[in-house]
């Protein structure tokens, strides 16, 4: 069995590939994995077991139809992790998000049809639902994205549905809550705060810090994605949650404690334009129908992540330093 994983030199996709090649997904123990990644700023070959005999890496652009047509034949399934994902970058410039997240998805779906790919999993986000102060979103909730990033992901989700209904392509969509874990680029809230604190640098907190997010360990997310690949149904959407939601202020307090930092290192910064107040998903569908259950508590997960960054200074320091100006400007919050 051969599968293609796009964007798998990044944070979430690389975790899926490492887990699969470590034989932690029993039904895919013999699967051969092709990774397609353009190695933009967040892609890193150190995230992948490049010498693994069942891994093939191809540098390429998801929008390159010719390369997709050459690459896809013979692959049974495709998992699309390829995306521009940082909200602040999308606010600064939406064009690349539309190109990669929308046009890239469309060209990938077309190429999958031509190649006879059996199943496609489109990895999306809870941000497509917008913001809510009360309740939790089910998969039937209307899409109300509020940033160029979330609008581009919502557009790809709608294309996925259209390719299922119009062409019969077996596309399944997953929508996750905020991810965290090892190998996450230090532009996002948790790795930015952890690496700053471990370096003795201040951390930027948007506004009052009362925005609320539900947090999901990347390992739980990838296990949910694999359940959708192996047990999900064509055309269906599955929310994947971590079960714990806290404010950014509370997250700051937890990270300060874990990193041995004080509140004197917290810098209040102007709030993000159009900052969504709260994301909250109802993931009972994937739990009830596919047997999903997160393994990581937020407490254990944060301890694990902080220790990983302590132990892998060389991995994150280059990325942190190379993008320091951008990180300071964008603040890394989702």
- 129 assigned to active site: no
- 126 assigned to active site: yes
* Per annotation, catalytic residue among 32, 84, 127, 219: 127
Report residue 231 CA to chain centroid gap.
Answer: 21
CA gap 217, 239 in Å, rounded = 14
Say which residue the tokens 């079960």 belong to: 243
3-class SS of residue 293: coil
CA gap 65, 96 in Å, rounded = 17
CA gap 259, 239 in Å, rounded = 31
Which burial class, exposed, middle or buried, applies to 165 when counting CB atoms under 10 A from its CB (0-12, 13-18, 19+)? exposed
- 219 assigned to active site: no
Please calculate the CA angle 284-183-157 and round it to the nearest 5 degrees.
45
Q: Mutual orientation of helices 218-231 and 11-21 as an angle, nearest 10°?
A: 70
8 Å CB contact between 183 and 14: yes
8 Å CB contact between 281 and 221: no
* Per annotation, catalytic residue among 25, 129, 149, 163: 149
* Per annotation, catalytic residue among 37, 84, 88, 126: 126
CA gap 129, 122 in Å, rounded = 16
DSSP conformational letter for 272: P
Cα separations (Å) of 153 from 17, 85, 180?
A: 22, 9, 19
Say which residue the tokens 């937020």 belong to: 298
Active site residues per annotation: 126-127, 149
């Amino acid at each position: 069995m051969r599968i293609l994983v796009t964007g798998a030199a990044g944070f979430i996709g690389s975790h899926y590939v490492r887990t699969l090649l470590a034989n932690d997904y029993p039904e895919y123990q013999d699967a051969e994995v092709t990774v397609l990644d353009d190695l933009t700023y967040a892609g890193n070959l150190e995230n992948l077991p490049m010498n693994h005999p069942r891994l093939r890496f191809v540098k390429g652009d998801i929008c390159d139809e010719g390369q997709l047509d050459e690459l896809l034949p013979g692959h049974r399934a495709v998992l699309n992790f390829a995306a521009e994902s940082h909200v602040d970058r999308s606010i600064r410039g939406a064009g690349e998000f539309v190109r990669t997240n929308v046009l890239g998805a469309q060209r990938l779906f077309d190429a999958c049809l031509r190649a006879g790919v059996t199943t496609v999993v489109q990895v999306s986000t809870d941000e497509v639902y917008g913001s809510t102060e009360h309740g939790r979103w089910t998969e039937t909730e209307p899409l109300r994205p509020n940033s160029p990033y979330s609008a581009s992901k919502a557009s790809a989700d709608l294309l996925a549905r259209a390719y299922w209904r119009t062409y019969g392509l077996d596309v399944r969509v997953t929508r996750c809550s905020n991810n965290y874990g090892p190998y996450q680029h230090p532009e996002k809230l948790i790795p930015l705060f952890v690496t700053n604190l471990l370096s003795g640098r201040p951390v930027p907190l948007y506004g009052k810090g009362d925005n609320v997010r539900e947090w999901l360990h990347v390992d739980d997310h990838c296990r949910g994605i694999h359940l959708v690949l192996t047990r999900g149904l064509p055309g269906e959407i599955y929310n994947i949650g971590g079960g714990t939601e806290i404010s950014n202020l509370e997250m700051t307090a937890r990270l300060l404690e874990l990193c041995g930092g004080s509140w004197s290192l917290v810098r209040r910064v102007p709030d993000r334009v159009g900052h969504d107040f709260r994301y909250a998903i109802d993931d009972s569908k994937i739990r009830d129908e596919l047997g999903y259950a997160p393994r990581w508590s937020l407490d254990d997960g944060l301890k694990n992540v902080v220790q990983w960054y302590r132990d892998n200074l060389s991995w994150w320091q280059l990325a942190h330093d190379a993008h320091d100006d951008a990180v300071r400007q964008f603040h890394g919050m989702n």
